[in-house]
């Protein structure tokens, strides 16, 4: 490729990126995904680095955002609102960590991980505790003054409380919750108006409205994530989040202090799944060096800090034809509709199937066989259908009729009040349920049977050797050795693994039973309260409800499980086989009743004891450990780096906060 062609390619990339910037920041009508934009920008930056003779100070690679809306007064940021470098994979994040170590010359540092809110960045200035102005990011150097509009946000304090510096600047993200967005769209649909595209666009467009009274009608929200104060009395970012909360400013309760890059990966992995449970959209995680002095050492590039990076979750949609809908049956009997699609390439793989979740989702989307549908992958293993391209719908399509019987055993399916999922009630003879329950029982967190995997379970089931988990303990060498793929050594390993499982603790056996809604934590609490399986089987609904973290749904499920004669027979078989069906743990010595009847929350890091040791001391002195702060909390025992949200909540509820030494004095240690 000649120099003239290189120049033309660079100019075309600049033109396209400038147009996309305008659509995104000014019109709030993005035409490509963030991922596609970032890839175009990377291409441009690579070419500009290789061919510096084509340098242009107005290139999009030199900018942070879009153009300033001329309808508002503009304000120049004292400290530019820089963008962050983006990464979409852990390898690049590992390289970022290596650069930090190299530049600092050591690995004695901490990261703060925060959710990357999908909204509009804002800078807010306070003087003498009162809000002076609010400014959009704009092009990163100057932005629009939207003070009156921002003042309408109910979650924002316009007058600070507590002890604060004379002048501060705080930065954050303005956004809209999805339920509020859905309500707005519903009202627009009823009024015959065009629907909004997504919550981010609405938030961005709302701040550009000239009438603040109209802005006040829009349910905007805000989280603050950065404090700028010239006296630099605060030394770390995590402390600044806590300090902002003491002034009444809202920061996210999900920020976490991480000791190393492995902790960062765990945080990212957790939120890739848990983000679906949030009421607002996030598109990634922001990772920042915690210590301000170390940030100064690391410095900045021309457009972003070297001490921070954004890990963005991948989201991409594709449009393809829906060929048919199948139904899968899980181990609990839950029915999940799955769409069969014309193959389409999405985020590096070819997608042929996508989840439709349940009957409500099919009805909500009005998805029909033959439709052209939008498929998204995001962080999900199984892609999901998110919409229908109605302009391509054929005239002869019909509303999809949801099945009325199990596709595996043809038993009529049921749906309980208040639940979205349909179930097959035939748990004894429905093949996927029987196989799934046995597979759950043998896995690592339950009975952990060595030599027995999912495929072997299927082999044994289809050969009539397994009909329930009790049959595992009746398996004999002479029956197994006759099966395909079962050699002498593998059979002996399996028999030994089954025998070894008889020593697995009671709480893991409870989890392995697969009682609906009884996970690892609930099983542990049940085993601690009801020391034998007989006492649990005899427990009333009221007795179960008294156990910590046991709610109505779990209590009903446990009672229903043990009310079934087949399950009581199964328990008897397991008992006769020699499984651990009683709690063998030694009762902890009770030292006093100082905390009798009191709920204690432990938070932070302690110098003399671990958190688990502190919890043991609480129980030894009659107290009950609680995981979250509420009006029922008696004391909070706070160590170093206690979460700022917990600290603020404890103060708001006037709950006594004990440090490690005060706690130890109370119990006479």
For 325-392, the DSSP string reads EEEEE-TT-EEEEEEEEEEEEETTEEEEEEE--SHHHHHHHT--TT-EEEEE-TT-SS-EEEEE-GGG
| Among 116, 243, 312, 646, the one annotated catalytic | 116
Nearby residues of 395 by Cβ (< 8 Å), 6 or more positions away: none
- Rounded to 5 degrees, what angle do the CA atoms 475, 476, 480 make? 90
Three-class SS of 474-514: HCCHHHHCCCCCCCHHHHHHHHHHHHHHHHCCHHHHHHHCC
- Per-residue exposure over 354-388, b if at least 16 CB sit within 10 Å of its own CB, e if not: bbbbbbebbeebebbeebbbbbbbbeeeebbbebb
- Rounded to 5 degrees, what angle do the CA atoms 662, 667, 668 make? 90
Determine how β-strand 282-289 pairs with β-strand 308-312. antiparallel
Q: Give just the sign of the alpha carbon dihedral 339, 344, 346, 348.
A: positive
Give the bridge partners for 445, in sequence order. Answer: none
Distance of CA 371 to the CA centre of its chain: 31
DSSP-derived 3-state class of residue 53: helix
Closest C-alpha among 485, 425, 426 to residue 460: 485
The answer to whether the CB of 185 falls within 8 A of the CB of 193 is no
Half-sphere exposure of 99 (CA within 13 A, CB side): 15
DSSP-derived 3-state class of residue 127: strand
The answer to whether the CB of 525 falls within 8 A of the CB of 550 is yes
For 271-285, the DSSP string reads HHHHGGGSSS-EEEE
For 541-569, the DSSP string reads HHHHHTSTT--HHHHHHHHHHHHSHHHHH
Catalytic residue list contains 116 = yes
Report helix angle 552-563 to 565-577, nearest 10: 80
- In the numeric block, which tokens belong to residue 142? 């100057």
Q: Pick left, alpha or beta for residue 508 (phi over 0 → left; psi -120 to 50 → alpha; otherwise beta).
A: alpha
The answer to whether the CB of 375 falls within 8 A of the CB of 317 is yes
Residue whose entry in the numeric block shows the structure tokens 């991980």: 113
The answer to whether the CB of 150 falls within 8 A of the CB of 134 is yes
State the catalytic residues: 116
């Amino acid at each position: 490729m000649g120099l003239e062609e290189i120049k033309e390619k660079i100019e075309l990339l600049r033109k396209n990126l400038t147009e996309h910037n305008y659509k995104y920041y000014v019109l709030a009508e993005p035409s490509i995904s963030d991922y596609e934009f970032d890839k175009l920008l990377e291409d441009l930056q690579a070419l500009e680095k290789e061919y510096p003779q084509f340098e242009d100070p107005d290139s999009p690679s030199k900018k942070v955002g879009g153009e300033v809306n001329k309808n508002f007064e503009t304000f120049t940021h004292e400290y530019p609102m820089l963008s962050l470098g983006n990464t979409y994979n852990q390898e690049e994040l590992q390289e970022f960590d290596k650069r930090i170590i190299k530049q600092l010359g050591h690995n004695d540092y901490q990261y703060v991980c925060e959710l990357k809110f999908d909204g509009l960045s804002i800078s807010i200035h306070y003087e003498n505790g009162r809000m002076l102005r609010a400014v959009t990011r704009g092009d990163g150097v100057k932005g629009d003054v939207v003070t009156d509009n921002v003042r309408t946000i109910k979650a924002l304090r316009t007058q600070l409380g507590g002890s604060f510096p004379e002048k501060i600047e705080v930065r954050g993200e303005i956004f809209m919750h999805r339920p509020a967005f859905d309500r707005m769209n519903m009202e627009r649909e009823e009024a015959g108006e065009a629907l909004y595209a997504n919550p981010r666009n609405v938030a961005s467009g709302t701040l550009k409205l000239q009438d603040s009274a109209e802005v006040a009608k829009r349910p905007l929200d805000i989280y603050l994530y950065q404090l700028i104060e010239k006296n630099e009395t605060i030394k770390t970012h995590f402390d600044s989040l806590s300090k902002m909360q003491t002034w009444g400013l809202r920061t996210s309760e999900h920020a976490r202090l991480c000791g190393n890059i492995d902790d960062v990966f765990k945080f990212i992995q957790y939120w890739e799944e848990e983000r679906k449970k949030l009421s607002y959209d996030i598109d990634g995680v922001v990772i920042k060096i915690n210590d301000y002095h170390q940030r100064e050492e690391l410095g900045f590039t021309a457009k972003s800090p070297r001490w921070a990076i954004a890990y963005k979750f991948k989201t991409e949609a594709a449009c393809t034809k829906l060929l048919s809908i199948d139904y899968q049956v899980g181990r609990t009997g839950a029915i999940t509709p799955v769409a069969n699609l014309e193959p389409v390439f999405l985020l590096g793989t070819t997608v042929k199937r996508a989840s439709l979740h349940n009957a409500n989702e099919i009805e909500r989307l009005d998805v029909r066989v033959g439709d052209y549908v939008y498929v998204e992958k995001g962080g999900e293993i199984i892609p999901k259908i998110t919409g229908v391209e109605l302009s391509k719908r054929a005239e002869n399509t019909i509303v999809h009729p949801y099945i009325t019987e199990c596709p595996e055993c043809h038993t009529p399916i049921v749906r309980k009040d208040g639940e979205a999922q349909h179930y097959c009630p035939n748990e004894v003879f429905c093949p996927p349920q029987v196989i799934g329950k046995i597979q759950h029982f043998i896995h690592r967190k339950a009975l952990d049977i060595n030599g027995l995997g999912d495929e072997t379970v299927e082999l044994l089931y289809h050969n009539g050797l397994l009909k329930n988990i009790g049959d595992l303990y009746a398996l004999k060498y002479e029956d197994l050795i006759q099966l395909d793929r079962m050699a002498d050594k593998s059979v002996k390993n399996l028999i030994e693994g089954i025998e070894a499982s008889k020593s697995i603790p009671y709480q893991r056996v409870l989890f392995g039973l697969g009682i609906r809604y009884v996970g690892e934590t609930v099983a542990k609490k049940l085993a601690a309260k009801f020391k034998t399986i007989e006492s649990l089987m005899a427990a009333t609904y009221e007795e179960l409800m008294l156990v910590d973290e046991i709610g109505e749904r779990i209590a009903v499920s446990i009672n229903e499980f043990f009310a079934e004669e087949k399950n009581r027979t199964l328990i008897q078989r397991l008992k006769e086989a020699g499984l651990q069906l009683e709690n063998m743990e030694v009762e902890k010595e009770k030292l006093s009743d100082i905390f009798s009847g009191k709920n204690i929350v432990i938070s932070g890091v302690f110098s003399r004891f671990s958190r688990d040791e502190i919890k043991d001391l609480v129980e030894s002195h009659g107290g009950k450990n609680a995981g979250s702060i509420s009006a029922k909390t008696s004391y909070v025992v706070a160590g170093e780096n206690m979460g700022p949200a917990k600290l603020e909540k404890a103060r708001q509820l006037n709950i006594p906060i004990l440090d490690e030494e005060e706690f130890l004095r109370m119990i006479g240690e």
